[in-house]
Amino acid sequence: MRIVGLLFALGGWLIAMSGLFMTTSNMGRGLFACVGIIVSIAGSLGFINKFYQAQAIWKK
């Protein structure tokens, strides 16, 4: 789960960066960046946090 989260976090950045090459319009690049940001957040606060929450001491 942690590895998946890391891949999502880094993948989000790659999505944002790919916009620089896929289009020259500011709107398009902005959309790529926003999607990338959401994917990165899903990786960190979604997958990685979920992994640690599953082991949280208050659940034991």
Least distance to another protein from the beta carbon of 11, Å?
8
Draw the binding track, 9-48, toward another protein (x: CB under 8 A; -: no contact). Answer: xxxxxxxxx--xx--x-xx-xx--xx-xx--xx--xx--x
Compute φ and ψ for 24, nearest 5 degrees: -110, -5
Structure tokens at 48: 């990685």
Distance CA 25, CA 18 (A): 13
* 56 in Cβ contact with 32 (< 8 Å): no
Residues forming contacts to another protein in the complex (CB under 8 A) are 2, 6, 9-17, 20-21, 24, 26-27, 29-30, 33-34, 36-37, 40-41, 44-45, 48-49, 52-53, 55-60
